């Protein structure tokens, strides 16, 4: 390895930027850091949920040139075409970049084509464009309702999606939004998921919140309904049930956004990794934090934690010391409902069971917290301000006095508002 470590990071999302900024903070001038991205901007994806209801895209975008320039990180525009692990090179649109350490944080994509008819007949919620399309379809449905027509909106989670939290937000926000538009009585909202329980990945306490929440809002909810195929106006499930809809909103199966020939990956293209370090299996100098790796829950907060673990593992190698902070999968999220929000802090562990790959740790005790309150919307807004502020400055999410203050605030709210 060179005296100045040459670190290449592919991916300009949560895990990639967190890794880059934390590595710069840890190693300073002991590292040359290159960020490769196929997009000019970082997207604060969690807040794209507001776009169908009139939210704007522009405030959610940060030009990558801004923070990388501040932190002396070289920005290379392009897509990763392949990795030569033996030579220590990564190919980017015909250009070859040498590395001492490589971070593959190229994220996940959607595979609606796995369910016949889903791509043609459903609105999905992965990209800002898809969110905007959903907004237009929702506006059309509201116009029809005001003309006296009744409308059914079906929200569905097919197999292959292990954490559908954003779709839960969308259905609850839709209910509140329709009430504010004074047309809720002309809509039937239906939810159908293949999961054994609602928000299965986050354990029984979320299910216990969703069941009465759906009942109170008049949302028909079904679990253990496995989507088989979709036609223009009907969704067909393997249990023989058929739901007619006017608007179908789905969160399709996840797949890896980029597949890397020659590196170990699972059947969906996610890179196989060591849990604690996020090091790719069999590779000493390649890491896969965030959605590109095989941790089954794809979520921003967990991506930050994985980016932190990756940065610490690489810094420890450069400084010839033991790493201090392995990845500890404790998810934290605030789910918007417009009139209130749901907070969840969930310590997870892997099971090895493909049907239910994660569960809440049996010894979680008081660390497993869930609560519902209008005040949690303040927490959501705080995070929406704090994260862009940090990333615009080229600073990691989980570091320094600002994060400690934010963490204290969230812990204080949790102690006061979350059920244990």
Q: Which residues contact 396 (CB under 8 A, 6 or more apart)?
A: 18, 21, 22, 25, 307, 308, 311, 390
Q: Which residues contact 242 (CB under 8 A, 6 or more apart)?
A: 234, 235, 236
Give the pLDDT confidence of 249-302 residue by residue, as tens digits.
Answer: 999 999 999 999 999 999 999 999 999 999 999 999 999 999 999 999 999 999
Rounded to 5 degrees, what angle do the CA atoms 256, 385, 257 make?
5
Q: Tell me the CATH number for domain 112-252.
A: 3.50.50.60
Give the pLDDT confidence of 22-36 residue by residue, as tens digits.
Answer: 999 999 999 999 999
- Sequence-ordered strand ranges (E) for 294-407: 330-336, 341-350, 358-360, 369-373
Give, as one character, the DSSP assignment of residue 272. P
Q: Tell me the C-alpha distance between 191 and 220, whole Å.
A: 6
- 69-93 burial, b for 16+ CB within 10 Å, e for fewer? eebebebbeeebeebebeebbbebe
Q: Is the CB of residue 342 less than 8 Å from the CB of residue 332? A: no
Q: Tell me the C-alpha distance between 218 and 15, whole Å.
A: 38
Give the pLDDT confidence of 337-389 residue by residue, as tens digits.
Answer: 999 999 999 999 999 998 899 999 998 878 999 999 999 998 888 888 888 89
Q: Tell me the C-alpha distance between 72 and 65, whole Å.
A: 10
Q: Tell me the C-alpha distance between 340 and 165, whole Å.
A: 15
Q: Tell me the CATH number for domain 5-110+255-417.
A: 3.50.50.60
- 226-235, 293-302, 390-399: lowest mean pLDDT where? 390-399
* C-beta neighbour count of 216 within 10 angstroms: 9
User: How far does Cα 236 stand from its chain's mean position?
Assistant: 27
Q: Which of 215, 219, 165, 174 is nearest to 195 (CA)?
A: 165
- 40-54, 95-109, 115-129, 405-419: lowest mean pLDDT where? 405-419
Give the pLDDT confidence score for residue 420 in this predicted structure: 43
The answer to whether the 5-110+255-417 and 112-252 domains have the same CATH topology is: yes
Joined together, the tokens standing for residue 375 give: 């005040």
Q: Rg of the chain's alpha carbons, rounded to an integer?
A: 22
Q: Where are the domains of the chain?
A: 5-110+255-417, 112-252
């Amino acid at each position: 390895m060179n005296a100045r470590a040459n670190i290449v990071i592919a991916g300009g999302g949560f895990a990639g930027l967190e890794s880059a900024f934390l590595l710069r903070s840890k190693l300073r001038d002991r590292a040359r850091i290159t960020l490769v991205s196929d997009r000019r901007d970082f997207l604060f994806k969690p807040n794209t949920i507001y776009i169908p209801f009139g939210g704007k895209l522009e405030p959610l975008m940060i030009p990558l040139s801004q923070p990388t320039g501040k932190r002396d990180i070289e920005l290379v525009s392009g897509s990763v075409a392949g990795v030569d692990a033996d030579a220590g090179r990564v190919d980017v649109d015909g250009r070859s970049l040498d590395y001492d350490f490589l971070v593959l944080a190229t994220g996940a994509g959607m595979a609606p084509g796995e369910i016949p008819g889903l791509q043609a007949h459903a609105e999905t919620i992965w990209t800002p464009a898809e969110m905007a399309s959903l907004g237009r379809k929702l506006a059309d449905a509201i116009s029809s309702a005001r003309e006296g027509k009744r409308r059914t909106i079906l929200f569905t989670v097919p197999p292959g999606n292990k954490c559908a939290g954003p779709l839960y937000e969308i259905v609850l926000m839709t209910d509140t939004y329709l009430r504010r538009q004074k047309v809720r009585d002309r809509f039937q909202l239906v939810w159908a998921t293949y999961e054994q329980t609602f928000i299965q990945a986050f354990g029984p306490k979320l299910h216990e919140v969703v069941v009465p929440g759906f009942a109170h809002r008049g949302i028909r909810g079904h679990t253990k309904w496995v989507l088989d195929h979709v036609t223009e106006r009907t969704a067909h499930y393997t249990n023989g049930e058929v739901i007619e809809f006017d608007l179908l909103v789905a969160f399709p199966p996840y797949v890896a956004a980029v597949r890397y020939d020659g590196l170990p990956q699972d059947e969906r293209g996610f890179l196989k990794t060591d849990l604690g370090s996020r090091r790719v299996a069999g590779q000493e100098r390649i890491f896969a934090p965030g959605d590109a790796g095989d941790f089954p829950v794809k979520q921003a907060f967990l991506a930050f934690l994985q980016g932190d673990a990756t940065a610490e593992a690489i810094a420890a190698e450069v400084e010839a010391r033991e790493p201090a902070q392995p990845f500890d999968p404790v998810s934290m999220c605030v789910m918007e409902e417009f009139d209130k929000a749901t907070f969840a802090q969930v310590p997870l562990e892997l099971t090895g069971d493909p049907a239910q790959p994660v569960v809440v740790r049996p010894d979680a005790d008081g660390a497993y917290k869930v609560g519902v309150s209008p005040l949690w919307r303040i927490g959501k807004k705080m995070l929406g301000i704090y994260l862009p502020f940090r990333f615009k400055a080229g600073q990691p999410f989980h570091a320094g006095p600002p994060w400690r203050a934010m963490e204290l605030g969230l812990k204080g709210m949790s102690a006061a508002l979350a059920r244990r």
